[in-house]
């Protein structure tokens, strides 16, 4: 079973190599990419079941034992994240294949899309299974470098502009992460997470807090925690729709995943928890207010993404089993729902030719399927019962109420308010883009007229119809089904999240997983 | 652990220059700032080796604490490769930005500027009846 651990990294990497080899032929490229991700989903599910029922999987790369060699480790949290990420990546890939087929994009820039996408998958998987900090850094770099390529895909002016912001901000966060690894190594003489956790108590408290803050800042930029979230709404919306969907769903959550590891395994102490709670509150409120002010669907969704990161940080900041469990469930819910909403935004863009809610209208009548595919995840994100968004928030609020002080109740109030503001922002999209009639939109022109005008003069027939390919709709519908299934099977999934949270109650379980031979407390020399 | 003061001073100077350059608007300066910051970080990892020692090639007659710690060197190598790849990508990005828009600047976001210009108003729906479809006087003064 342990052999499955490196496979989640190897399969997408080999897939990327193969897709590069067949780069000129789009059809085998698509088949290889999709089958690699299907296999990944299957492996993820097998690992999750195994890890949940039997115990964590550990792989010592090259046969070198833990503190000296590199450890790959899959516990409940990592397995859950692998399954959810693989499902989301698969759905987005199918969506982009549908889009590519319809547009006939067989030329050069798109032939690098599939390899880059698979390398992004590799980076995500490395980050999830990494058992030492430097490996985590390498995983982050793999996924970031491929995300640089994807966000500037095609190299148009607006994408370059947005890409520059994204690249520079990510570079700074990576350097901060690397510098904190250097300082941790200097202070403790190791980069293996389990060994850091064993030795961290030997350091004076002020040094601990310094290292803790450096790691949190580095991951906070990646997770888009206020005030480090400014880059996200500027850079995500300009990328191609499927790229934005994958980024929005996954990349920030990997930052949150790293923060969970830091807070539970490396620095389990409560020193910074109040500060994190205040940051969570600000992230929620500022993000939601930003969403209310925007007029573009993708930007509204980007701001709601920022604001909902606050909920996850809240769960982590509580420092209790219930809080961590609620945060893990919320991550799973949010990855799926946010990706679905961005895919739906891609469909809206295709149907209406724009994502500005000032310029589109009447979609409920002209595209009822898209309307349904937007409405269900929108309610879910807004936290309407009985959807998983409501369940996740309920779990978070219960865990927060256990703490019972003024800050906790302020956070519950803010959380409820932000949930309403999210709903308001999304309902505004609904009533303007879907509900009002098309002729209520100023300066609207008929879609048919536009497609005639846009059609190239050289072809005799009008080929420039903007009909939405069935594959795109199908993959979005698939994601909506998954998000509804998350509500239906919330019990078992919350159970896994709960057990994952119990595993992360302090570093003890993590250390035992990596060093099974050690007696309690004593370090192996 | 003993560290060389010269290395620490060089590292701080490089970090200081790097932060200054990274805060500039010009993309080329940002790139230079990134290169400086990357090398300063590599230097930081090197400083964490502590006192320099013998090359870490195993010899049974040498005591273990006389070797230099080889792990940070491996970390630096990896970091150098990553920094190199990313800076070449950044260079390509700057070139592309120059070719397309003739700018070498981190520009403001268009949507942000539009929002700053004023709130986007959603017009209220007309609720008063039109004169042609109603017999009631529309104006209050007429009604009197």
Task: Name the minimum distance, in Å, from the CA of A262 to any CA of chain B.
Answer: 21
All residues of chain B having their beta carbon less than 8 Å from the beta carbon of residue A295 are: 120
Host H or E run for residue B118: none
Q: Is the dihedral of CA B31, A153, A340, A331 positive or negative?
A: negative
A167/B106 touch (CB, cutoff 8 Å), yes or no? no
Q: Is B80 on the interface with A (CB under 8 A)?
A: no
Condensed to tens digits (0 to 9), the pLDDT of residues A162-189 reads 888 899 999 999 999 999 999 999 898 8
Q: What confidence score (pLDDT) does residue B123 get? A: 56
Nearest-by-CA chain B residue for A169? B22
- Whether residue A263 contacts residue A219, with contact meaning beta carbons closer than 8 Å, is answered with no
Is it the case that residue A106 has pLDDT exceeding 70? no
Q: What mean pLDDT is predicted for residues A292-296?
A: 86
3-state secondary structure A506-524: CCHHHHHHHCCCCCCCCCC
* Least confident stretch, A55-59, A414-418, B104-108: B104-108
In this prediction, residue B80 has a pLDDT band, given cuts at 50, 70 and 90, of: very high
Q: What mean pLDDT is predicted for residues A426-440?
A: 84
Condensed to tens digits (0 to 9), the pLDDT of residues A507-523 reads 888 888 888 876 544 44
Q: What mean pLDDT is predicted for residues B102-120?
A: 69
Host H or E run for residue A73: strand A71-74
CA distances from A429 to A53, A296, A359 (A): 43, 9, 11
Residue A159's closest CA among B100, B41, B13?
B100
- Whether residue A166 contacts residue A251, with contact meaning beta carbons closer than 8 Å, is answered with no
B41/A163 touch (CB, cutoff 8 Å), yes or no? no
Beta bridge pairs of residue B28: none
Residue A247's closest CA among A77, A85, A11, A14?
A85
A164/B93 touch (CB, cutoff 8 Å), yes or no? yes
Q: What confidence score (pLDDT) does residue B96 get? A: 87
Answer yes or no: is A397 within a domain: yes
Which of B93, B101, B107 is opposite residue A152, by nearest beta carbon? B93
Domain that holds residue B75: 5-108
Beta bridge pairs of residue A72: A59, A130
Crossing angle for the helix pair A252-261 and A321-352, to the nearest 10 degrees: 170
Answer yes or no: is B119 within a domain: no
- Whether residue A146 contacts residue A121, with contact meaning beta carbons closer than 8 Å, is answered with no
Q: A64 versus B15: which is more confidently predicted?
A: B15
Condensed to tens digits (0 to 9), the pLDDT of residues A321-343 reads 899 999 999 999 999 999 999 99
34-63 in B: which are within 8 Å (CB) of A? 34, 37-38, 41, 44-45, 47-48, 50
Answer yes or no: is A273 within a domain: yes
Answer yes or no: is B140 within a domain: no
Q: What confidence score (pLDDT) does residue B56 get? A: 82
Count: domains in chain B = 1
- Whether residue A342 contacts residue A247, with contact meaning beta carbons closer than 8 Å, is answered with no
In this prediction, residue B118 has a pLDDT band, given cuts at 50, 70 and 90, of: low
Residues 6+ apart with CB under 8 A from A287: A226, A229, A303, A304, A305, A306, A307, A308, A309, A310, A418
Nearest-by-CA chain B residue for A357? B122
Distance CA A233, CA A43 (A): 34
Is it the case that residue A461 has pLDDT exceeding 50? no
All residues of chain A having their beta carbon less than 8 Å from the beta carbon of residue B90 are: 167-168, 171
Model confidence, pTM = 0.88
A182/B75 touch (CB, cutoff 8 Å), yes or no? yes
Q: Which tokens is A109 given?
A: 């820039």
Q: What mean pLDDT is predicted for residues A248-255?
A: 91
Nearest-by-CA chain A residue for B48? A186
Residues 6+ apart with CB under 8 A from A489: none
Which of A161, A186, A358 is opposite residue B120, by nearest beta carbon? A358
Farthest CA pair distance, chain B: 114
Q: Tokens 């980069």 map to which residue?
A: A191
Answer yes or no: is B125 within a domain: no
Task: Provide the phi-psi class of A521: left if phi over 0, else alpha when psi is between -120 and 50, else beta.
Answer: left
Domain that holds residue A255: 4-440+469-514
Is it the case that residue A155 has pLDDT exceeding 80? no
Answer yes or no: is A461 within a domain: no
Distance CA A317, CA A400 (A): 10
Residue A74's closest CA among A104, A43, A96?
A43
Answer yes or no: is A55 within a domain: yes
Best residue in A64, A179, A182, A238 for a mutation probing chain B (most B CBs within 10 Å): A182
Count: domains in chain A = 1
- Residue B19, domain CATH: 1.10.287.3510
Task: Name the minimum distance, in Å, from the CA of B10 to any CA of chain A.
Answer: 15
Burial class (CB in 10 A: 0-12, 13-18, 19+), A332: buried
Q: Is B113 on the interface with A (CB under 8 A)?
A: no
CA distances from A431 to A305, A338, A434, A524 (A): 21, 20, 6, 64
Q: Is the dihedral of CA B106, B110, B114, B115 positive or negative?
A: negative
Q: Tokens 């303007």 map to which residue?
A: A432
Q: Which tokens is A228 given?
A: 């480090």
Provide the Cα torsion A389, A230, A121, B89; round to 10°. 170
In this prediction, residue A446 has a pLDDT band, given cuts at 50, 70 and 90, of: low
Residues 6+ apart with CB under 8 A from A293: B115, B119
Condensed to tens digits (0 to 9), the pLDDT of residues A470-485 reads 888 899 999 999 999 9
**CA A110, A116, A120 angle in degrees (round to 5)?**
145
Is it the case that residue A455 has pLDDT exceeding 70? no
Beta bridge pairs of residue A192: A132
Answer yes or no: is B120 within a domain: no
B100/A160 touch (CB, cutoff 8 Å), yes or no? yes
In this prediction, residue A102 has a pLDDT band, given cuts at 50, 70 and 90, of: low
Answer yes or no: is A173 within a domain: yes
Q: Is B109 on the interface with A (CB under 8 A)?
A: yes
């Amino acid at each position: 079973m342990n052999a499955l651990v490196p496979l989640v990294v190897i399969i997408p990497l080999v897939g990327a190599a193969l897709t590069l080899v067949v780069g000129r032929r789009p059809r085998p490229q698509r088949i290889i990419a999709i089958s690699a991700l299907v296999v990944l989903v299957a492996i993820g599910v097998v690992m999750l079941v195994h890890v949940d029922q039997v115990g964590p999987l550990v792989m010592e790369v090259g046969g070198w034992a833990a503190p000296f060699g590199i450890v790959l480790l899959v516990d409940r949290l990592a397995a859950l994240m692998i399954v959810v990420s693989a499902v989301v990546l698969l759905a987005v890939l199918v969506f982009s294949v549908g889009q590519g087929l319809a547009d006939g994009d067989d030329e050069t820039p798109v032939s690098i899309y599939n390899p880059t996408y698979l390398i992004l998958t590799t980076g995500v998987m490395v980050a999830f299974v990494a058992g030492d900090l430097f490996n985590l850094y390498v995983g982050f770099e793999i996924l970031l470098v491929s995300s640089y390529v994807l966000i500037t895909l095609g190299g148009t002016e607006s994408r370059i502009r947005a890409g520059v912001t994204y690249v520079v901000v990510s570079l700074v966060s990576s350097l901060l992460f690397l510098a904190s690894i250097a300082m941790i190594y200097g202070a403790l003489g190791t980069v293996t997470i389990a060994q850091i956790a064993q030795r961290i108590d030997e350091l004076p408290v002020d040094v601990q807090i310094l290292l803790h803050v450096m790691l949190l800042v580095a991951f906070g930029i990646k997770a888009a925690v206020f005030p480090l979230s400014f880059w996200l709404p500027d850079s995500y919306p300009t990328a191609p729709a499927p790229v934005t969907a994958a980024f929005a769903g996954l990349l920030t959550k990997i930052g949150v995943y790293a923060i969970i590891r830091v807070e539970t395994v490396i620095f389990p102490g409560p020193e910074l928890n109040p500060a994190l709670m205040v940051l969570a509150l600000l992230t929620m409120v500022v993000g939601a207010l930003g969403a209310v002010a925007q007029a573009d669907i993708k930007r509204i969704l980007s701001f709601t993404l920022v604001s909902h990161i606050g909920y996850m940080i809240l769960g982590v900041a509580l420092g209790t089993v219930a809080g961590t469990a609620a945060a893990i469930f919320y991550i799973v819910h949010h990855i799926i729902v946010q990706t679905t909403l961005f895919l739906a935004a891609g469909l809206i863009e295709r149907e209406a030719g724009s994502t500005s809610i000032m310029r589109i209208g009447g979609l409920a009548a002209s595209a009822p399927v898209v309307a349904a595919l937007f409405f269900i995840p929108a309610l879910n994100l807004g936290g309407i019962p009985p959807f998983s968004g409501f369940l996740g928030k309920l779990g978070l609020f219960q865990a927060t109420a256990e703490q019972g002080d003024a800050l906790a109740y302020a956070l519950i109030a803010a959380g409820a308010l932000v949930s309403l503001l999210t709903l308001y922002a999304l309902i505004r999209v609904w009533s303007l883009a879907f509900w009002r009639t098309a002729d209520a939109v100023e300066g609207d022109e008929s879609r048919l007229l536009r497609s005639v005008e846009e059609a190239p003069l050289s072809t005799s027939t009008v080929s420039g119809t903007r009909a939405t390919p069935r594959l795109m709709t199908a993959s979005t519908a698939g994601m909506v089904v998954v998000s509804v299934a998350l509500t239906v099977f919330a019990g078992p999934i919350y159970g896994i999240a709960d057990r994952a949270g119990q595993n992360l109650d302090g570093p003890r379980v993590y250390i035992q997983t990596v060093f099974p031979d050690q007696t309690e407390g004593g370090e192996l020399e | 652990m003993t560290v060389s003061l010269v290395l620490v001073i060089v590292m701080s100077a490089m970090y200081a220059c790097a932060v200054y350059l990274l805060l500039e608007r010009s993309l080329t300066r940002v790139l230079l700032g990134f290169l400086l910051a990357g090398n300063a970080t590599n230097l930081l990892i090197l400083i964490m080796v502590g006192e320099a020692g013998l090359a870490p090639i195993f010899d049974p007659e040498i005591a273990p604490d006389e070797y230099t710690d080889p792990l940070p060197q491996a970390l630096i190598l990896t970091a150098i490769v990553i920094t190199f790849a990313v800076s070449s990508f950044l260079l390509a990005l700057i070139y592309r930005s120059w070719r397309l828009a003739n700018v070498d600047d981190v520009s403001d976001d268009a949507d942000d500027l539009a929002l700053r210009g004023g709130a986007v108003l959603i017009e209220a729906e007309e609720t008063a009846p039109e004169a042609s479809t109603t017999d009631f006087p529309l104006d209050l003064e007429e009604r009197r």
